[in-house]
Amino acid sequence: MACNENQVKYLIVRPHEGGIMDLLKYMLWGDIQCGMMFLEASQQQVAAATAIDHRWVIFVSIIVRKIISLFRKPMEYTGILIDFFFNFLSLNGGFFGLIYNLVHGKVPIAPKRGTQNFISTIGHIDGRIELYTSNDFTQVLFGTRALMDLCMMGSKLAYENAQVVRNVVSCHWKMHFVDFYDCWNDFQKEKSTQVFILCDKPIDASLILVSFRGTEPFDTDDWSTDFDYSWYEIPKLGKVHMGFLEALGLGSRTNVASFHTSIQIKEHSNSQTPSYLDLAAYYLVKSKLKTLLTDHPNAKFVITGHSLGGALAILFPTVLVLHNEIKLMERLLGVYTFGQPRIGDEHIGAFMQAHLEQPVQKYFRVVYCNDLVPRLPYDNKTFLYKHFGTCLYYNSLYMEQETWLSTMVRLIGLALPGITDHCPTDYVNSVRIGKERTLQNSTF
């Protein structure tokens, strides 16, 4: 490593470094040496202590990620097939419309990915695109239901392609679409982080919204990240989930020193920094925000995201504070996350408290019922990952008419409890008609 190993602390869980027998010996017979085969750490003592103290959690992380990796291609192909099927039906007037067209000799319309008419599976499960209340945010106040609804709908919209996002923002919400970014994840070696930005008005805007895309239903890399236990310790900040740092473009576990390099750079310059930072979500969004806030002197910005997107939404301002971006943070209206996993240890919450809780609360985590993802990575009295901020908890006691597709999703929940409660549909319903319960220092 390029940096001093005595100063850098990290832990990487590598589920494919050992075999099933090694995993069973570790779990059933407490063979720590077998457990350490799956762990890479800055110091041997760190790996040993983790293998001893958190055996059950490490075992679950490894076995779940092994299972997820086995289904990588089947899930990918299933997602492609389901996306095509729903869009094919939608473009051809539904099942009966398709039959009618075939009987009358009309050629069916084939969906084309990346176009304005190609909707994600999440978009088909919940077809609502209109905002619940007025889209006038001239006198925007953080904590209002109107703003929360915009954030949730923005989080749901982030699952769509750029053309769909542009169409909804411009034609339905009557707002100004700024840009859609496909950002680089140097560990995954692909553009797997998506984020879009909008303003409530093209001129003299009052509100700027940044929305990060969450966990794709059929993307095994996203789900594996949620179950990952790997962390990297940032001085003054604390231990941060390594997968979320990678999603923001701030390093790669294949070269641990890259985290130090990426995080220490406050302003990205092509002549001084690694080339992969050209497409890093953190630097792209920060640069665009600075331009927008200069162009709109009366505007404030809000950051949002569902699932993995929620983790990135709160990690983004955390790094801004770390980089002493005082002027940007003064313009932050707040952060709303929905079904967000934990991003790091309790020290992060203490670090961010002065910036997100004073003089008013600026960070709300919305959690629906038995959603599993906010409970990830797993936590207990002595465990690493801890939530911070105010939790707005919603139960399932609301009445809302559902589509046949959302009903089918709920039936899946009989086999996968905690997964179906993660669906954006329930978060939209909760924000609009649910009764919230505010929980301080919640563990979920």
What does DSSP assign to residue 397?
-
* Catalytic residue from among 241, 296, 387, 422: 422
- Per the annotation, the verdict on 371 as an active-site residue is yes
Phi, psi at 48, each rounded to 5°: -65, -45
Find out whether 37 and 22 touch, Cβ atoms under 8 Å.
yes
Find out whether 179 and 288 touch, Cβ atoms under 8 Å.
yes
- Per the annotation, the verdict on 271 as an active-site residue is no
- List, in sequence order, every beta strand (DSSP E) within 73-128: none
Q: Give every CB contact of residue 367 below 8 A, 6+ residues apart in sequence.
A: 339, 374, 391, 392, 393, 394, 442, 444
- Per the annotation, the verdict on 307 as an active-site residue is yes
74: its two tokens: 């089947």
b/e burial code for range 336-365 (CB count within 10 A of at least 16 → b): bbbbbbbbbbebbbebbeebbeeeeebbbb
Beta strands at 300-306 and 176-185: parallel, antiparallel or unpaired:
unpaired
10 Å CB burial of residue 81 (0-12, 13-18, 19+) is exposed
* Catalytic residue from among 307, 406, 421, 426: 307
CA–CA separation, 260 vs 434, rounded Å? Answer: 43
Sheet of strand 9-13, all strands in order from the earlier edge strand to the far edge: 39-41, 9-13, 231-234, 238-241
Its sign, for the CA torsion 377, 379, 384, 386, is positive
Its sign, for the CA torsion 247, 79, 197, 116, is positive
Q: SS3 for 439?
A: strand
Q: How many helices (H) and strands (E) does the chain have?
A: 18, 12
CA distances for 302 relative to 60, 193, 277, 305, angstroms: 35, 19, 23, 10
Beta strands at 363-368 and 332-338: parallel, antiparallel or unpaired:
parallel
Beta bridge partners of 232: 10, 240
* Catalytic residue from among 200, 222, 226, 371: 371
366: its two tokens: 């919305």
Residue 8: CB atoms within 10 A of its CB come to 19
58: its two tokens: 């490490």
98: its two tokens: 């398709």
Which residues carry out catalysis? 307, 371, 422
